Amino acid sequence: MAFGFSPKYVQILPIDPLTPQEFLVLAIEAAKILDWNIAFETETGFIAYTKFSMTSWSEEVKVTIEGDQATLKSECTGNQLMDWGKNKGNIESLVAELELLKSTVTPEDMARQFEELKPTFAANEEDNHLPPATKGKFTGILSLFWPSKGYFITPIIVDLNILIYILMVISGVDFMSPNTKDLLNWGANFRPSTLNGEWWRLLTNVFLHIGLLHLLFNMYALVYIGLLLEPYLGKLRFLAAYILTGIVASTTSLYMHDATVSAGASGAIFGMYGVFLAMLTTNFIEKSARKAMLTSILVFVAYNLMNGMKGGIDNAAHVGGLLSGFIIGYLYYPSLKAPDRMDLKLGIISAVLIVVLLACFTVGRRIPNNLGQYDEKMKNFASMESMALEVYQMPKNTPKDTLLKEIKDRGLYYWNQDIELINSIDKLDLPDALHKRDKILVNYCNLRIKSYNLIYKAINENSNSYKDSIEFYNKDIGELIDSLKGK
């Protein structure tokens, strides 16, 4: 049973007494007997894909002949970490069929079949449809975090996410379950803040994670899609797609959620899966490879979208990233088919960049920021409340006329202003909890007004007859304040 990223099994087999040409003929015939899809053939080997089944997402089997030996490799195309012995079984089945064919196929038949295969051979350097070989270049887990040819931007993004997470933890943020305040301080996406001019949150939240497990799952998915996709797209296209789909995902989340604090790379990662899905629906990738990869990618996307329906998961960002990535993938297609056209490549990337940013800006400007307005109005409420309460801070020897003027012209005036303010913001489309809070605040202001009217009378008439009523109102006021504080 193989375990790794991705799980694989490799066996080196001496080809003696066969010639390289004879071994190739028998190996291809064995793969056909096993009902594998032959994707790519050369004079030195071939690539085939096993059938998709309930026990397999389809494996890639690669046979490479060098000198007097052949390297047989079976590798998972899905993003599973364990193959449950499937890859070893593939190689054993191939070797078993080879041994049977050795005793039944004559040298003359092998020579004839080799001549028949020649027209199908393609020079490696001329074939743009080979499945990416990046995964096979890694010798250890640490190599996944180090930029290399065909895998340059992905590890940088992964390393940046990990670095930011480490800095968050060092600063005192909980490593498993950060609180909302910490996430907002580090740049999480939140409609009231983002729409209040903090547009940078659309991007910064893509590099934040809500705990260690959130980070690990996202980085696993990112490394997998990066290994598959970056060799096709190249550095610039990959980076542009990642950032743009991340911003679209954040904008979608902003549009769908009034008061959700969101963070994580999953929207951008879904965007990259969307780009790859678009490519897999074209003829850019060889048909057999396309079929095998499409199945595993669709299973992964479908599972995660269904899992995202659970509470606490921002599925809106996932869908926004996926759809935008799918569109960007199709927009990239002309430049991918013309790799020598740098002007076409840069032109398409620039056009996609401008269109996506303008679209996100336009949508963002149209999103109602009711909670943001509510927060701003509540700041005004608190300011007027402070001015209304200034009467309690006046010295004991303050002249009677001054006290009465303070109560009437400032105290009562600002309590009435606060009631008008609350009534106006209560017309906004707000969560039920805030409408309930508004009613409590209006009741609070009315009690203050009643209390102030009695205090005014007591001072004006120089009487203690209102003392019990004033204390009764103050008791009710204290209870309302406690309820607003959640006590």
Q: List the structure tokens of 180.
A: 């909302």
Is 424 an annotated catalytic residue? no
275 closest CA partner among 220, 234, 316: 234
Q: Of 83, 77, 81, which is closest to residue 47 (Cα–Cα)?
A: 77
Class of residue 444 by CB neighbours under 10 A (exposed 0-12, middle 13-18, buried 19+): buried
Catalytic one of 318, 324, 335, 451:
318
Q: Which of 257, 234, 237 is nearest to 152 (CA)?
A: 234
Say which of 74, 93, 193, 266 is annotated catalytic. Answer: 266
Phi, psi of 63 (to 5 degrees): -115, 125
* Separation between Cα atoms, residue 276 and residue 228, nearest integer Å: 8
Taking the C-alpha atoms of residue 26 and residue 338, their distance in angstroms, rounded to an integer, is 36
Closest CA to 169 of 210, 198, 221, 204: 210
Is 266 a known active-site residue?
yes
The CA-to-CA distance between both ends of the chain, in Å, stands at 57
| C-alpha 3, offset from chain centre | 26
C-beta of residue 392 within 8 angstroms of C-beta of residue 474: no
- Retrieve residue 331's tokens: 């927009």
Nearest to 415 by CA among 393, 386, 395, 377: 386
Which residues in 20-36 are b (16+ Cβ under 10 Å) and which e? bbbbbbbbbbbbeebeb
Active site residues: 266, 318
